Structure 1
Amino acid sequence: MRGDFIVPTQNTRLWTYSLPVALVLLAPFNILASLGMDIYLPIVPSIPAILGTTSEVVQLTLTLYMIMLGIGQIIFGPLSDRFGRRPILMGGVLVFAATSSALAMTTSAWLFVLLRLVQATGAAAMLVAVFATVRDVYADTPESAVIYSLMNAMLAFVPALGPIAGALMARYFGWEAIFIALCISALIALPFVLPKWHETRQSRKHSSRADFGLVLRSPYFWVYTLAFGTAMGAFFVFFSTAPRVLIERAGLSELGFSIAFASVAVVMIATTRFAKSFVARWEMDGCVIRGMLILLFSASLLGLGETLLTPSFWSFVLPMWLVAVGIVLTTSVTANGALQEFSELAGTAVALHFCVQSLIVGVIGTCVVIALNGGTAWPLIAYTGGMAAITLAALIGLTRYKQQR
């Protein structure tokens, strides 16, 4: 035993909300963190000319946002365990709103990149507050699988509508309107939600000085976080390459691209409807294995399309519908799998989970996009197929580890 025990904080109050009400409180900040990435996609091909820079620098605004979402949580996870979820949420929202406003006014490429980093820091704080609260309230309850699948459905809903909204705002009001809308949305959500968002953190008196080490020594944490990173990375590489493939090579308009992109998110939303029954039928490992096999099959279809066909909706987007199914199968269970041993370290464990998966997604995903020509399907083929194969091998190793215990 580590000598840990739990005492409530002075301002802790039990959440007695129904699941729909809890989702209304949690969802805005979960959505905003994702929207900061997705609403911006339709203007990615235009940003080099607007800011007088290159497509590689613009790729940094996507990559560094993703990486900072994870690294920022290494700071905010432990801080949320120490000071509470509410102050971390408030600070994150204010930083996100301020930098979104500044992004709308900058004309410098490198200042734009820096502001995107700071914006991602605010988004990271929001995500920590949301998922640590979910873990506080719903750990080891039947509602746990439901709320994780619903939160993932919301994250799928954002790419369904976010790029369309971004394309329309850019067309009628200019690209700056995209970031102004993010700022206003954050400032509206905070005063609406905060009075009802009771603090859920519980203080821990413990003898351990190595919370990070406890998490990082867990093979469950590593394997399921790898699986989560593989699934989310497939989507990251897709939206890193999709604007160039579909707008520049396939000739779609910004709105046409947004609708094609949204179709993948719609498939994710539809699949999420069945996530609970998938988990009940196949359990955690069965869902992840099937998700990885679907990713491997999808990579082969993308390879055939890139080799034999001209770039189009059918050769590039249609195989992504299958990828979307694999993503949902995987992400509906991996958070619980990675964090199953750490109910007492919710903030720290969530922070490390998102940090590691963000590094997987951002570093490996960006490397394949740059190395294999981001204007083709090859980065998506390499990432999806290669990472799925690695994850399957890791799952086999974890199964042997379980059998030996």
Structure 2
Amino acid sequence: MTTKARRTAEAAEQGVAQAPASETPVTKEKLFLLAGLAAVGSLATNIILPAFPMIGGELAISAPQLGLLLSSFFIAFALGQLVVGPLSDRFGRKPLVLGGLAVFAAGSVVCATADALPLLILGRVIQALGACAASVLSRAIARDLFDGEALGRALALTMIVGAAAPGFSPLLGSVLAGLFGWRITFVVVALFAVALAALYLARIGETHHADRRTALAPSAVASAYGRLAAEPRFLLPALAVSLVIGGLYSFFAAAPGVLMNQLGLTPLQLGLSFAGTVLIVFAAGFLAPRFAARWGQRPVGMAGLVVALAGGVAMFGFAALPTFTTYTMAIALYLFGMGLINPLGTAIALHPFGRQAGLASALLGFLQMGCAAVGAYLASALPFAPAISLAIVLTTGSTLALLAFLPVALRQTRAEPVAAPASTGA
């Protein structure tokens, strides 16, 4: 089957009227802005990881209490998206993006001046409520601008660019904290938000025009969320992506315990290790749209989940006596699989819901951060060594994701048999 025929079959299989495909070009400038919006939350989380021992020592905070800085952020992030999505469908993306970045910057200032755990947690919650707007609307804006394979390509390329922030931010955080103390990290992310707001205002602006906006009433929003949550075309790929993303944040939460406590790495070495993972995500994000154009989004997404599961199983194999090499190999497998399913599963979940892109992206973000909160908590709370706890979370999450995505892949297999690669044409 040709690429054009496959696109037609995908549209027919989705069974909904789509908005006309956008002619907006996928430019580097747009990708940078979308990646920046998407990365605000992970930047704010990852940049402080190497400073955890310093924060704990200065404010007399125990390791479990430090975990609250992650879980409180994830919970507020998840809940906030449920409000931001429908608000943006009603009033447009622009006021929510700019307002969210302003709130995030304010929360960062609260964190930078905190002298006790409660105030630090409050600042993290405020950060999350602002960051969630930027994150959820980066996907909604991508859906506003692009369609079909262009949407999948834009999401994949956005992930490639956006991976630099969470990948290199621990390295940046370790350098900044070592030179100026942990508080400077929150000042840096506040300045990043201000710069991103100025660039967004100048280069993209409003993308959700008045003729596509939906009514806003609590009962209508609740009903829309209910219908969307019961829609398999959305729920199954969204769950698959969310469970794997939950494993990613579990990795973020467990990495200091594994690499610093178990393997003896310094904060700077931890940052360098995170930076190395960027190359894996780069590679997966670069290959995902190319694989999808050749074999289809669903088969490639399924393959990504199998690879992620292999990474979780490999982590189990080495968890009892981990070394830096075995740990890195297992994480590399997981991250490569995650890098394949994340953009493709997101595109599959959002594509049929162009008129509700904000709401659909919000529910997807809620599921992702909900899984992240649970995964990060389990990675810290399970009564095992950090590597074993992480292996349990990664393997369980990948298995559930695979089961959720299987009907999606089988539906394409029945509706759209993919020809041999040699016969795939434009």
Q: Does the alignment reach a TM-score above 0.5?
A: yes
| 2:424 equivalent to 1:381 | no
Instruction: Decide which of 154, 159, 173 is 1:152's aligned counterpart.
Output: 159
Report the equivalent of 2:190. 183
Indicate the SS of the match to 1:199: coil
Indicate the SS of the match to 2:319: helix
Cα deviation digits, residues 262-315 of structure 1 (max 9, x gap):
2122211122221222212332221222122212222222122122x3x43113
Aligned amino acid, residue 292 of structure 1: L
Alpha-carbon distance in 2 for matches of 1:162, 1:102: 20
| 2:248 equivalent to 1:238 | no
Using the TM superposition, give the Cα deviation of residue 368 of structure 1 relative to its aligned residue in structure 2, in angstroms.
4.3
Q: 1:17 to 1:403 in 2, by over 3 A?
A: closer
Using the TM superposition, give the Cα deviation of residue 401 of structure 1 relative to its aligned residue in structure 2, in angstroms.
6.6
Identity over aligned pairs, percent? 28
Report the equivalent of 2:204. 197
Q: 1:225 to 1:63 in 2, by over 3 A?
A: same
Alpha-carbon distance in 2 for matches of 1:396, 1:252: 39
Relative to structure 2, which stretch is displaced further, 72-81 or 22-31? Answer: 22-31
Report the equivalent of 2:236. 223
Using the TM superposition, give the Cα deviation of residue 103 of structure 1 relative to its aligned residue in structure 2, in angstroms.
0.7
Aligned amino acid, residue 294 of structure 1: V
User: Do 1:299 and 1:381's aligned partners in 2 also have CA atoms closer than 8 Å?
Assistant: yes
User: Do 1:86 and 1:129's aligned partners in 2 also have CA atoms closer than 8 Å?
Assistant: no
Report the equivalent of 1:10. none
* Pairwise CA RMSD: 2.6
User: Do 1:73 and 1:124's aligned partners in 2 also have CA atoms closer than 8 Å?
Assistant: yes
Aligned amino acid, residue 349 of structure 2: A
| 2:352 equivalent to 1:341 | yes
Aligned amino acid, residue 172 of structure 2: A
Report the equivalent of 1:73. 81
Alpha-carbon distance in 1 for matches of 2:129, 2:90: 19
Using the TM superposition, give the Cα deviation of residue 397 of structure 1 relative to its aligned residue in structure 2, in angstroms.
3.9
Using the TM superposition, give the Cα deviation of residue 365 of structure 1 relative to its aligned residue in structure 2, in angstroms.
3.9
Report the equivalent of 2:119. 111
Q: 5+ unaligned residues in a row in structure 2: which ranges?
A: 1-15, 416-426
Instruction: Decide which of 68, 83, 87 is 2:91's aligned counterpart.
Output: 83
Instruction: Decide which of 300, 313, 337 is 2:324's aligned counterpart.
Output: 313
Report the equivalent of 2:224. 211
What is the aligned residue count? 392
Using the TM superposition, give the Cα deviation of residue 189 of structure 1 relative to its aligned residue in structure 2, in angstroms.
2.5
Q: 1:206 to 1:183 in 2, by over 3 A?
A: closer
Cα deviation digits, residues 171-210 of structure 1 (max 9, x gap):
1111111001111121222223303323121334679933
Q: How does 1:286-325 map to 2 (within 5 A)?
A: 286-307=299-320, 309=321, 311-325=322-336
Report the equivalent of 1:95. 103
Report the equivalent of 2:400. 390
- Following TM superposition, the consecutive aligned residue runs of length 4 or more in structure 1 with deviations greater than 3 angstroms are 4-7, 14-18, 202-209, 396-405
Report the equivalent of 2:142. 134
Q: 5+ unaligned residues in a row in structure 1: which ranges?
A: 8-13
User: Do 2:39 and 2:166's aligned partners in 1 also have CA atoms closer than 8 Å?
Assistant: no
Alpha-carbon distance in 2 for matches of 1:188, 1:403: 45
User: Do 1:96 and 1:183's aligned partners in 2 also have CA atoms closer than 8 Å?
Assistant: yes
Using the TM superposition, give the Cα deviation of residue 246 of structure 1 relative to its aligned residue in structure 2, in angstroms.
0.9
Indicate the SS of the match to 2:386: coil
Q: 1:244 to 1:162 in 2, by over 3 A?
A: same
Q: 1:6 to 1:280 in 2, by over 3 A?
A: closer
User: Do 1:5 and 1:205's aligned partners in 2 also have CA atoms closer than 8 Å?
Assistant: no
When normalised by structure 2's length, the TM-score is 0.85
